[in-house]
Amino acid sequence: MNRNCDIICFSLSRWDSEISSPALSLAKEFARNNRVFYIDHPFSWKDYYQLKHTPQIQQRKEALLHGRNPYSNPPSLPSNITVVTTQLTWPINFLPPRFLYNRMAKWNDAIVLRTIRQLIKDYQLKDFVYLNFFDPYFVQKLPEDIKSLTAASVYQSMDDISQVAYSHRHGTRLEEQIVHNFDYTLCTSKELTRLKSPFSNNVFFHPNAADTDIFKTAVTQILPKPEALQGIDKKIIGYTGSIEYRSDFELLKKIATHHSDKILFFVGPIQGNEVQEFGLDQLPNVIFAGPRKITELPAFLQYFDCVIIPFKKNTLTKSIYPLKINEYLAAGKPVIATHFSEDIYTFKDVAYIADSDDEFLQLIDTAINSNNATLQQQRIDVAGQNTWTARVERFWEIVSGNGK
């Protein structure tokens, strides 16, 4: 396998998403040595009309509507990454898994494949790696004219797709197909690796990592205190990331009420209505700062006294290796997490893993009061073993046939 080959990444996460993306992080790491063509998850006509006044749509309008100017090189990304936008696709997830869905899915695949074929022609690609990041809704099997030009086709599974109603509707069976048809499947957790192994002989554990150079600045530099933290003179329990269905909102409310002498501070987008349903938005010591770019997170982390991963313990979270664990550790922060997966438990020597709500509440004080420079360095050292550089090296070992 030529490690300097071109890479086409087809990703469920768009490059300008408001939350951290493992797909984009890996793409940026690949771009140190490879040309990377990052195909955003296609926008549908429904997306277009709902978001048509947003920068996301306006910046892509010519490509979405007419297929013109589909390539861009955003200045915030490495110069070796070219972002690719397909034309608009049809919204079909609401359809039952029968003839009409299959027919329209073929139309959508044709739109995507037209973009890929044009990309191959325009950049004269051959012997490239085709890497699908957790987007099984498109092109479950590469057509022969494209497959003949690939050095390897790789699918990356990042969550148990069967455990979310919207994605399960079609995603579960489509993911089975793509795992079966692609050369290799990488899974971000040990549980996912077990779940996908029946569909292929080439399924490998390939966990998330962290942009440690970014997050270490919370330790190595004195960063300006974010405006949202100004005026806070209490201990801060912090959380970064999406606030949604994986979060244990009952536990979060207990944290806020039990630790009323502290601030519970969230940095990230809110999805769903649980924040309102549990009354978190009404508590005086709970603050929601909204989403921030990944480069802004270290400044928040520097001023947090501890950080939490308050996930529910269920079938979905059993298959999660959270991106944020290594980000937190790289920032040297004491971490308290629920015992939701065997992957999170592997960090028990550098994080506090709680088996009950009461233990979680107690461990917050323990984590804050026992924090010291030695523990901080131990966390940083562990995060240093879980970099995207290490993950890219492992990737090449796998696709070169040395994965086992």
Give the integer Cα–Cα distance in Å for 317 and 251: 15
Secondary structure of residue 10 in the 3-state scheme: strand
pTM for the full predicted model? 0.93
Q: What is the DSSP track for 241-310?
A: S-BSTTB-HHHHHHHHHHTTTSEEEEES-B-SSHHHHTTGGG-TTEEE-----GGGHHHHHHH-SEEEE-
CATH number for 212-384 (one of 3.40.50.150, 3.40.50.300, 3.10.20.30, 3.40.50.2000): it is 3.40.50.2000
Question: What CATH class does 7-207+387-402 carry?
Answer: alpha beta
Mean pLDDT of the chain: 96
**Does residue 32 register a pLDDT over 70?**
yes
What single letter denotes the amino acid at residue 173?
Answer: R
Alpha carbon of 317 to those of 101, 137, 164, 314: distances in Å? 29, 22, 11, 6
Residue 307 CA to residue 264 CA, distance in Å, equals 10
Please state, in angstroms and rounded to a whole number, the distance separating the CA atoms of residues 56 and 59.
Answer: 6
Helix (H, G, I), strand (E, B) or coil at 355: coil
Q: Which residue has the tokens 């004080």?
A: 365
Confidence of residue 111 (pLDDT cuts 50, 70, 90): very high
Mean predicted confidence (pLDDT) in 321-344: 97
Task: Decide if pLDDT at 404 tops 90.
Answer: no
Can you give the pLDDT at residue 105? 98
- Residue 378's Cβ-side half-sphere holds a number of Cα atoms within 13 Å equal to 12
Selection from 46, 45, 38 nearest residue 17 by Cα: 38
Q: Tokens 């330790």 — which residue?
A: 219
- CA distances 25 to 9, 81, 155, 219, 388, Å, are 12, 12, 16, 21, 7
Domains 7-207+387-402 and 212-384 alike in fold: yes
The model's pLDDT over 53-83, given as tens digits with 9 standing for 90+, comes to 999 999 999 999 999 999 999 999 999 999 9
Residue 185 contacts residue 202 (beta carbons within 8 Å): yes
- Predicted confidence at residue 403, as pLDDT, reads 65
Question: What is the rounded average pLDDT of the residues 96-111?
Answer: 96
Nearest CA to 382 among 167, 156, 216, 202?
A: 216
The 10s digit of each residue's pLDDT in 140-194 is: 999 999 999 999 999 999 999 999 999 999 999 999 999 999 999 999 999 999 9
Would you list the domain boundaries of the chain? 7-207+387-402, 212-384
